[in-house]
Structure formats: C-alpha cells, structure tokens
Structure 1
Amino acid sequence: MTKRESLIRAALLVLVLSIIATLVVLDRTRGDDRPSAVPTPTATEMPAKVNSDPPAAPEVPAPSKTAKPGDVIPTPPPGIESIACQKLQQSVEIRVLNFNTHRSYGGIGTVAAEIAAVDPDIVLLQEIDRFKGSTGNIDQAAYFAQALGMDHAFGANVRSGNGEYGVAVLSRFKILNSRNYLLPNGPGGEQRGLLGVGVEVGGQEVRIYNTHLQNKMEGLREAQARHVAGILANEVNPIILGGDMNATVNTATLAPLTSLLVDAWSVGSGPEGTGPNGSRIDFLLASPTIKPQQAQVLRSSISDHARLYADFVVPAATDCPTQPRGTKGNQKR
C-alpha cells in the first residue's frame, strides 16, 4: 500500500467515524425528546361513551433505542472516498538528473558524491558497468542505489562473460516495474538499449526512460531514435526521457523525440554544453503535461560528460487509484 493510499484510507476512516458519531448523537437526541408514554386523558377530556364497554387502554410506545456496540453501523454517504481522494491529490515537484558516468573510471565514490550534490529524486545514468573486471567487478547501479538510499533498475545492453554494460535508473520513489528494450543495431555498431521504469508520482504512474544512442554511425543513431519514439508514442502515462543522444537538438536524431516531448532546456540557464566537445548532446525531455521549471549543467571532475539536471512539476492525478500500485521511497518534495 502506498503512502498516499494510506493517507486516503486514514482520511476516509476519520470521515466515516465522524458521520457515525453524528448519526448516533442525532438518534439519541430524538430519543430524549420522545415521551415515554401517552398521558391518560382526564375525565373532562374523555370522549362520550357509545357503549358500556370500558375504554381501551392507551398504547404505550416502545422506549427510544440508543446505539450500542454491535448495532448496525450507518452506511456512509456515497462518493465519500472519491471526495477524500480528490482533496489529497496534489502536484509534485521532482528533480531529475542525467549523467553519463564514463564508467566511473575516475572513482565510483566520487561519482556517487557528484550525484548526491545535485540532490535528485530520479537519476538516469549511462555507461554503467556490472561485474566488469576493468571496473573492479562492481555492480555499479546497486552501489549507487545503496550509497544514495534509492531504488534502482539496470538495463544490460552488452554482455561479455559475467560482465554487463548498459544504463541505469535510480529513484527515491519505489520502482514499480522495469523493462529494457534493445534498439536496432548493425555491422560495426555497439548494441544500445532503452530502459523504461514506472514510478508513482502524485498519485499516478510516470514512465521514466533512459537511453544511450550510437555515437559514430549517424544513420544507425537516427534509426535508434525513431525506434525509441515509436515505443514512447504508445505510452498512455506521462513520460520523462533522458539520455546521451550523441546528437544536438537541431538534427534528424532528435526530431522524432522532440515532436513528442518538450526539451527541459527550454528553461535552461548558464552554459549548455554537456559532451566531450562542448556540445549539448545529453537531454532531458518530458510530456507536455510535465512542466520544466529550471535546468542547469554542472561540470564533472570524473566524467567526460557534464551532469544535466532539471526540476519538473508533475501535475496532480486526474483520477483516484482503484488498487495498490506499489510503495514509494523517501519522497522529499
């Protein structure tokens, strides 16, 4: 059960108990106002006799009944749950960080510290190793998750022996589900993927996607971007997409993605270069309903890519959940 659903149930319980208490008090009040018996008419009020039979005894109503333990509890008015749920719905501010870590070659502890310095709620990481000898046989995604107190998911795109290489998502919200999609590949290309996870934010599931497109083969990179756009076009939930696109915004690679999603750098400030050559090739994009508030680039002392973060407002859900969808982690904002 989510924290939000627990709050809704608690509010409903308080509301129902208040209604029950009110009904009981009203019932007792009505009972106190009733006479215990009908007064006997006096001689002057007695109607004239029509026969010799004695007058019938007046009927005495049953004493008023007060609520006792075990009595049937009045049914709460319809729509109470919906009203309470809607009152608890609210928009949520989240901070999302995108970071190509360069496999943490300069020191995984330093990379963790650079992530923590941004204080993000969701982190999209590229160039992540898992049990690779060249990077100390560490499950890097699990290491970051433990160091930062976050949930995580890993998408393996390249496997070599026991080692894996790919992308990862970290989240302060519990990850409800995850799936890694392998993207189109060709001769001379390196297998790339798209990792998608679901997290509950503001009473709804938001889909978080992370990718790392081909770096040297332009045609293949464009095909991969179109494939990503095709997957996202079928989504019914709000989307945040991040990644190392290895292309700038005004290119055929980004066109199918920016036709669906809004570039968070529309509210960016300061130097925008993220890649090794100073170009902005790392992106955070979101559904039009998820509004970016600010975006900024921070240099890294470890990676050849800069850290890109953006603050978003996820709007309040328009409906109430009908069943549990998982439990959030430590939501800060």
Structure 2
Amino acid sequence: MTRREQLGRAVLLVLVLGVIAALVVVDRRRGADLPEGIDAGATPTPSVTIETPLPSADGTAKPGRPEKPRAGATEEIPTPPPGIEAIACRKLQESVDVRVVSFNTHRSFGGIATVAQEIRALDPDIVLLQEIDRFHGRTGGIDQVAYFAEALGMEGAFSPNVVQGNGQYGTAILSRFEIIDSGRFPLPNSAGGEPRGLQWAGLEVGGQEVRVYNTHLQNKLVGLREAQARHVAGILAGEEQPTILGGDMNATANTPTLGPLLAQLVDAWPVAGSGPEGTGPNGSRIDFVMASPTLEPRGAQAMRSSVSDHARVVVDYVVPASTDCPTRKRRA
C-alpha cells in the first residue's frame, strides 16, 4: 500500500468518525426534549435478556440464569435522614413577633386612601377594622375590604353586620399570615339596637393556628352592650388556640362590659402601654387589643388619626412557639 493510499484511508476514517459523532450529538439532543423515561428512538426497542456468567466449581465461567429487566423499575427515592421530621417541627415552633392594629375607620369618610396610608405607616401583621362598608352607596359603592387588602398587600376577610340592599356594613380582618378559615357569630340584639357580630379568623402563625377575633359592641344601650360582651366571653371560654381579641368596645376597662372579657384575656395596655391612652371621640380608652396570657405584649400605643374619630391601637406581641408539632383545628 502506497503512502498516498494510506493517507486517503486515514482521511476517509476521520470523515466516517465525524459523521458518527454528529449523529450521536443530534440523537442526544432529540432525547433531551422528550419527557423523562421516554426513549428518543422512533420505534420501540425489543426486550433484551442478558446472560450473566456464573463461576463454576473449577473457577471457569459458565452460562448463568438469564436476568430480565424489571418491569416498571424506577429510581428509588432516598430515605430522609433520621430525625429530619423533628428538625422541621422545631423550625416551625419558633416564636414569632406579631404587630396587631385595631382601628375604627369611621367608614373611611375622611378618605379611604388616607386610611390605608395610616395603616401602612404602622407596618402591621394583623389589622382589625371596624365600621367598614362594602358596596354601600354612602361610600361610593367601593368594596373597602378588597381595597385595603390590595393596598396593603394582605389577605382580607369581611363580616357583615348590617345589610341594606346591595350595601353591607361590618368589620374586617386583614393579615400578612395565611387566613386558614374565618366566620362570624351574631351577638344578642334588642329593640333599638343595631345588629352586631363577633368576627373570627384562624391564622397560620409560626406553624400553629392563632385565633383572632374582631368586634364592635353596641354604643348606646348599656345593658345590651354588657350582654354582648358576656356572649363574646362565653365563645372565647371554649377556645383552645392562642387568642387575640380587638375592637371598639364602646366601654372603658373598669366597667361591667369589659369585666367578663378581662377575666379571660390580658389587656395589653396596662402591661406595655406608653403615651396618651385615649382612643374614642371623647378621649377615653374604648378601643382594645387583648390576648391569651401566653401571648406576651412588648409594646402598646394609641396613635391618633387625621381622618377618623378613633385612634389606631397598636400592640406588639410575641407569639410563643407551639409545644407540639403544628395541627390545625378549625371551628365548624
């Protein structure tokens, strides 16, 4: 074979290897576009039986039993390391700092954008609103709950107490935490009284459910207001979750109205309040935030509003870690 023939064969071999390599690359790219587990070939491949040589007694190999591929064989999912569940549980059990605001908005007559700004300035995690309109003609037919939820980047729940045509009037709960569930308990009423309710929402806070309540008690009929407060206390008596109650109580702390509630919950103001305490139109403290004894208040203030006749009540709590792994108990 001449040198020219050897060179020609070498060039031909290089070309053939290049074509084979290109085909392999194209085939792999086609396979990458297919779902995992699907063969890139256009036609199904036949089942293959593999003979595995087994050593004989004299050390030589001999044909062994055929091994067939297992049908439906998939990758085994790795077993989680021991104790990972406990680690995740402890992570969820960390205490959480929570800022709660209770605010009677006076139906936002002073300007709903300003009300939203006054709430946003406090950087709250949970907001309890009273005197909220929804689709009511007197406030331009706006869904105030949806407006506040969007403006503040929070979840919202509404509880109507009075329905007039398409218009509704009641309370609202806004939350940065997930609202697991929500509802309303009607409160006692009598002649001359306005329908009132106790709104509630279950919130996912630090891996446990915290139950938040919001209310606006009767303002004119003292006996009815006291009956409503007793009814609220009866509902809270069966509560097993960490609990926060806020709202416009239309009564001061040293009255029979607040007695049944303060027998169960801790008023944040005597523990952590600072500055002027007046919240109502006449300067008395009638707006409250109170909670289960296990929730520690770290600070409380009454911040006057430029658009409402009520002050904004701001309370910082530490919600302690749960003693058990998280479970959700929802009220039916």
Please classify the TM superposition score into its range, dividing by the shorter chain length. 0.7 to 0.9
1:211 is aligned to 215
The question of 1:294 aligning with 2:299 is answered yes
- The match for 1:305 among 297, 310, 323 is 310
User: Offset of 1:299 from its aligned partner?
Assistant: 0.6
After superposition, the Cα gap between the structure-2 partners of 1:84 and 1:142, relative to the gap in structure 1 and judged at 3 Å, is closer
- The match for 1:142 among 146, 154, 158 is 146
Q: Could you tell me the TM-score, scaled by structure 1's length?
A: 0.74
Secondary structure at the counterpart of residue 313 of structure 2: strand
Give the Cα separation in 2 of the matches to 1:89 and 1:225. Answer: 33
The question of 1:107 aligning with 2:111 is answered yes
Give the Cα separation in 2 of the matches to 1:167 and 1:189. Answer: 17
- The match for 2:255 among 231, 251, 256 is 251
Secondary structure at the counterpart of residue 121 of structure 2: helix
Give the Cα separation in 2 of the matches to 1:91 and 1:291. Answer: 11
Give the Cα separation in 2 of the matches to 1:193 and 1:73. Answer: 51
1:242 is aligned to 246
The question of 1:117 aligning with 2:111 is answered no
Q: Where do 1:1-333 residues align within 5 Å? A: 79-266=83-270, 267-321=272-326
After superposition, the Cα gap between the structure-2 partners of 1:132 and 1:234, relative to the gap in structure 1 and judged at 3 Å, is same
Gapped runs of 5+ residues in structure 2? Answer: 1-56, 60-72
Secondary structure at the counterpart of residue 124 of structure 1: strand
2:21 is aligned to none
Q: Percent identity?
A: 70
User: Offset of 1:278 from its aligned partner?
Assistant: 0.4
Give the Cα separation in 1 of the matches to 2:129 and 2:266. Answer: 20
User: Offset of 1:123 from its aligned partner?
Assistant: 0.3
Letter of the 1:294 partner, please give it: G
Letter of the 1:146 partner, please give it: E
After superposition, the Cα gap between the structure-2 partners of 1:84 and 1:148, relative to the gap in structure 1 and judged at 3 Å, is closer
Give the Cα separation in 2 of the matches to 1:77 and 1:218. Answer: 62
User: Offset of 1:319 from its aligned partner?
Assistant: 1.6
Secondary structure at the counterpart of residue 300 of structure 2: strand
After superposition, the Cα gap between the structure-2 partners of 1:184 and 1:208, relative to the gap in structure 1 and judged at 3 Å, is same
Letter of the 1:109 partner, please give it: A
Give the Cα separation in 1 of the matches to 2:108 and 2:89. Answer: 44
After superposition, the Cα gap between the structure-2 partners of 1:73 and 1:173, relative to the gap in structure 1 and judged at 3 Å, is closer
C-alpha deviations, 1:275-326, integer Å up to 9, x for none?
Answer: 000000000000011100000011101000011100000001222236899x
Give the Cα separation in 1 of the matches to 2:260 and 2:301. Answer: 24
Give the Cα separation in 1 of the matches to 2:114 and 2:86. Answer: 47
Give the Cα separation in 2 of the matches to 1:84 and 1:211. Answer: 36
User: Offset of 1:203 from its aligned partner?
Assistant: 1.0
After superposition, the Cα gap between the structure-2 partners of 1:234 and 1:70, relative to the gap in structure 1 and judged at 3 Å, is same
C-alpha deviations, 1:32-71, integer Å up to 9, x for none?
Answer: xxxxxxxxxxxxxxxxxxxxxxxx989xxxxxxxxxx978
Give the Cα separation in 2 of the matches to 1:238 and 1:175. Answer: 15
User: Offset of 1:241 from its aligned partner?
Assistant: 0.4
Give the Cα separation in 2 of the matches to 1:221 and 1:324. Answer: 30
Contact 2:156 2:173 in 1 (8 A): yes
After superposition, the Cα gap between the structure-2 partners of 1:271 and 1:323, relative to the gap in structure 1 and judged at 3 Å, is closer
Letter of the 1:153 partner, please give it: A
After superposition, the Cα gap between the structure-2 partners of 1:120 and 1:301, relative to the gap in structure 1 and judged at 3 Å, is same
After superposition, the Cα gap between the structure-2 partners of 1:74 and 1:264, relative to the gap in structure 1 and judged at 3 Å, is same
User: Offset of 1:80 from its aligned partner?
Assistant: 3.3
Contact 2:196 2:217 in 1 (8 A): yes
After superposition, the Cα gap between the structure-2 partners of 1:319 and 1:164, relative to the gap in structure 1 and judged at 3 Å, is same
User: Offset of 1:76 from its aligned partner?
Assistant: 5.2
Give the Cα separation in 2 of the matches to 1:269 and 1:206. Answer: 26
After superposition, the Cα gap between the structure-2 partners of 1:271 and 1:74, relative to the gap in structure 1 and judged at 3 Å, is closer
Identify the structure with bigger relative contact order (alpha carbons < 8 Å, sequence gap 6+). 1
Give the Cα separation in 2 of the matches to 1:311 and 1:322. Answer: 25
Letter of the 1:86 partner, please give it: R
Give the Cα separation in 2 of the matches to 1:216 and 1:88. Answer: 45
Give the Cα separation in 2 of the matches to 1:174 and 1:296. Answer: 26
